[in-house]
Chains A and B, each alone.
Chain A
Amino acid sequence: MDVYGFPAWLRVEHWINALFITLMVRSGIEILATHPKLYGRDDSRPGSEWARFTRKTMPKDKLYDTLDEEESYSPIISLPGHRNLGMGRHWHFFVAIGWVLAGVTYVALLFATGQWRRYIPTSWGILPQAWHDLLTYLSFRLPPHLPGEPFDALQKLAYALVIFVLAPVAILSGLAQSPAVDARFPWFLRLWGGRQRVRSLHFFVLLAFLAFTAVHLLMLAVWGWGRENSLMIFGHGDAPVGGLWVSLVIIAAIIGVNIAVTVWSLRRPRMVQRVLGAVVMALRRALLRPATSHQHYPKAAVAAQHRVNGKPPDSDTYKIMAVHDFAPWRLTVGGLVENPVVLTLEDLRALNTRQSQCVLHHCIQGWSSVGEWTGLPLRDLLDLVRPLPEARYICFLTMQDNGRDEPSAPGEGHFYEIIDLELAHHPQTLLAYEMNGEPLPIEHGAPLRLRLENQLGFKMAKWIHDIEFLSDYRLVGDGMGGWREDNVHFDMEVGI
């Protein structure tokens, strides 16, 4: 068996990988655009970022939120561009699943066929050889290949690093940004230095892939584009002209696929949401839903300034309630329950179960913050109202009218979010009425907000006034499971 050859599976994997990398990079840039700032600390304190990729500056004299900070990048560099976080996430995760499957298959075949020898050095002697090769490149000459192998020593080390270090770091640093993973295994996040450091690391991984691709293409040109592509297309280097032309066709096809999915995402976002979401959400449910939050951050970790996403209700009714410390506010709990109730804030506080949790908040945009939340565990409210057997979902209706309150939001209507009843039973699922030991601030959802510690922040509805138990959510709003799902095409299940 030729363990240094170019068998069909290796060639197919190479070109699939090339396509996946382009889609991953572009959709990753779309995700970055939604909060184009990178931090070293988990509180994401405004102004503390070490890098920003935006021309925007925020006003000093009025309330702004992180929606105002979103950037709109060109579709040339981002998928699909034009400020479409929902679409960017769908593509990033959908392709990530394919990329991981392809990668696992590739590595399995490498070891099954003995091809691993082409990448993994078996002697320390490769290090001085690689140094010698580097000096040769710096002399603008080409070093010899290792005896009988397709690469020189430096190339062999570079490929080994990309396949066995960079790719796993990309996957693991992506996973470490999942609220479900971090909530269930806080030690895993600490391993990476924290939520914002791992986000920055994920960004460096992106840069590393771009740098590798640039050098890879340069090396192809230097070593002979036609011959090298002949090897990777036909499995032999005897057809450099064919290699040249077919490689150009393949590159054009990769660009074509990128253009097609971009146009599809911009013109038919709902279809993309349904098609890709079906795959991604099923996997999320299976892998991340069982993750129960076990977070107990020290109070010293509480952020001095917790960022805000979404503006408070700008109605006279709400303002009058706020002036009176929300004494006139009522929480209606109804729908498919045996015991519908109407509760005041005092009623909620008077219920015996009062729970506090110091936890890391994960915004879908990428920023994070630690806060202490106190309130009523949702499962205790369930005990009070007793959902009927057919109840499967809970809808949280809020007092925020996006058309009135949130000019940055692409849509109108009252904000609502729907969760599975199953999530209500998680021990750290909370109806919070206090934050950091004080009554819940207005900008953070006063008088009542939801806390779902294994989901992203947008699911945690603020300014709640009505809770409805449902058998199906498809008749609510546009039927996608929440205001953001309806209007900006986010997924309903957001454990990552």
Chain B
Amino acid sequence: MTAGGHEIGRGPLTTVVMRYSGLGRLATLLEYFAFDLPRTTTAAGVTLMAGLAAAHAYLIDGGTADPAYLNVYRALIVTGSLVAIALMSLPGPARAGWRLGSLVSVVALAVYLASRTAGLPGMPLLAGRWDCPLGTVTMGVAALFLALHGSVLTGVNVAYPRRRDWYD
């Protein structure tokens, strides 16, 4: 299906799902939006990843009595974010970098939501504690990265090193 210069590929199963789920109409709407800002898109993705890394690095061993596994988890998020940034900035593995970024974002989002709803092992008091600005920022940054990557996957945006081949 051609859109404003971008294509959204669909197999038979995807076509059926989109038709009966209402996602087809959303996809049609998205076809009206197309941007040719690959470096800006990548810069935005890199900034969001850097924000995610910074937020988690700030919390590593901050003199609190957090369980050790939490610091390991935070270090993994920081490392994953930094690796994603490096990959996204290179022409070859950029796509892998975006996928890693989304994986890190999903994990960060899921762990934060789990910590505030069910609580975490050794930290039951976190449940219900939504009054943490850094946590809210973490949620927002992770959600924005997922939305940005989604816009790249649906063709609304292109990320470095890709460009549009618009002729008109």
Which of the listed residues B33, B133, B168 has the most CB atoms from chain A within 10 Å of its own CB?
B168
Interface-side segment among A99-107, A137-145, A370-378, A477-485: A137-145
Closest to A47 in B: B166
**Cβ-based interface call for A53 (8 A):** yes
Considering the complex, give the chain A residue whose CB is closest to the CB of B33. A53
Check if A50 sits within 8 Å of B131, measured CB to CB.
no
Bound CA–CA A53/B166 (angstroms): 13
Q: Closest CB-CB distance, A142 to chain B, in whole Å?
A: 12
- Report the Cα distance A160→B131, complex, angstroms: 28
Q: Say whether, besides A138-B137, A139-B131, A60 and B167 are in contact (CB < 8 Å).
A: yes
Instruction: Give a binary string over B23-42; 1 marks a CB under 8 Å from any A CB, 0 the rest.
Output: 00000000111111100000
Q: B34 — which chain A residues lie within 8 A by C-beta?
A: 51-53
- Interface status of B130 (Cβ within 8 A of chain A): yes
Residue A326 CB within 8 A of the other chain: no
- Residues on A with C-beta less than 8 A from B137 are 138
One digit per residue, 1 when the CB lies within 8 angstroms of any chain B CB and 0 when it does not, for chain A 120-145 equals 00000000000000010011110000
Write the B151-168 contact mask toward A (1 if CB under 8 angstroms, else 0). 000000000000010111
Q: Which of A46, A48, A50, A141 contacts B37 (CB 8 A)?
A: A50
Q: Which residues of B contact A192 (CB under 8 A)?
A: none
Interface flag for A352 (CB, 8 Å): no
Contact of A140 among B31, B33, B131, B167 (CB under 8 A): B131
Whether a CB of chain A sits under 8 angstroms from the CB of B119 is no
B11 to chain A: closest CB distance in Å? 21
**A64 lies within 8 A of B168 (CB):** yes
User: Once the chains are docked, how many angstroms separate the CA of A132 from the CA of B130?
Assistant: 17
Q: Is the CB of B132 within 8 A of A139?
A: yes
Interface contact B136-A53, CB-CB below 8 Å: no
Asked if A55 meets B4 with Cβ closer than 8 Å, knowing A46-B168, A47-B166, A50-B36, the reply is yes
Contact with A along B125-147 (1 / 0, CB 8 A): 00000111100110000000000
A residues in contact with B164, CB < 8 Å: 47
A56 at the interface (CB under 8 A from B): yes
The B33-72 residues at the A interface (CB cut-off 8 A) are: 33-37
Cβ–Cβ contact A138 & B2, under 8 A:
no
Chain A residues within 8 Å of chain B by Cβ, number? 22
Kindly list chain B residues whose C-beta atoms are within 8 Å of the C-beta of A46: 166-168
Is A113's CB within 8 Å of the partner chain B?
Answer: no
* CB within 8 Å for A55 and B167 given contacts A50-B36, A139-B133: no
Complex CA distance for A54 and B131, rounded to whole angstroms: 42
Decide: A140 near B136, CB < 8 A? Known: A49-B166, A60-B167.
yes
Q: How far is the CA of A195 from the CA of B84 in the complex (A)?
A: 38
Q: Is the CB of B133 within 8 A of A53?
A: no
Tell me how far the C-beta of A200 lies from the nearest C-beta in chain B, rounded to whole angstroms.
11
Count chain B CB atoms within 10 A of each CB in A49, A55, A57, A60 and give the residue with the most.
A55
Contact of A53 among B2, B32, B167, B168 (CB under 8 A): B32
A111 to B122 alpha-carbon distance, docked (Å):
58
For A134, the closest partner residue in chain B by CB is B133
Query: Closest approach, in angstroms, between the C-beta of B10 and any C-beta of chain A?
Result: 15
Q: Which of A122-177 contact B (CB under 8 A)?
A: 135, 138-141
A-contacting residues, B93-112, CB 8 Å: none
In the complex, A54 Cα to B33 Cα: how many Å? 7
Chain B residues, CB < 8 A from A52: 4-5, 34-35, 166
Beta-carbon nearest neighbor of B130 in chain A: A140
Q: How far is the CB of B6 from chain A (nearest CB, A)?
A: 10
B3 at the interface (CB under 8 A from A): yes
Does A220 sit within 8 A of B, measured CB to CB? no
Judge whether B36 and A57 touch: CB under 8 Å.
Answer: no
A53 near B130 (CB under 8 angstroms)?
no
Q: Are A55 and B36 touching (Cβ within 8 A)?
A: no
With beta carbons under 8 angstroms apart, the residue of A47, A55, A141 that contacts B168 is A47
Given A49-B166, A50-B35, A139-B131, answer yes or no on A55-B136 (Cβ-Cβ < 8 Å).
no
Decide if A58 is an interface residue (CB 8 Å cutoff): yes
Say which residue of A49, A71, A135 sits within 8 Å of B36 (CB atoms): A49
Given the complex, which residues of B lie within 8 Å of A56, measured CB to CB? 4
B32 adjacent to A54 (CB under 8 Å):
yes
B35 / chain A contacts, CB cutoff of 8 Å: 50-52
Could you list some 17 contacts between A and B, CB below 8 A?
A46-B168, A47-B166, A47-B167, A49-B166, A52-B4, A54-B32, A55-B3, A56-B4, A57-B5, A58-B167, A64-B168, A138-B137, A139-B131, A139-B132, A140-B130, A140-B136, A141-B131
Shortest Cβ-Cβ A-B pairs, 3 listed: A58-B168, A138-B133, A139-B131
Q: A51-B36, A56-B4, A140-B131 are in contact. List 13 more A-B contacts (CB 8 A).
A: A46-B166, A46-B168, A47-B168, A49-B166, A52-B34, A52-B35, A52-B166, A53-B33, A53-B34, A54-B4, A57-B5, A58-B167, A135-B133
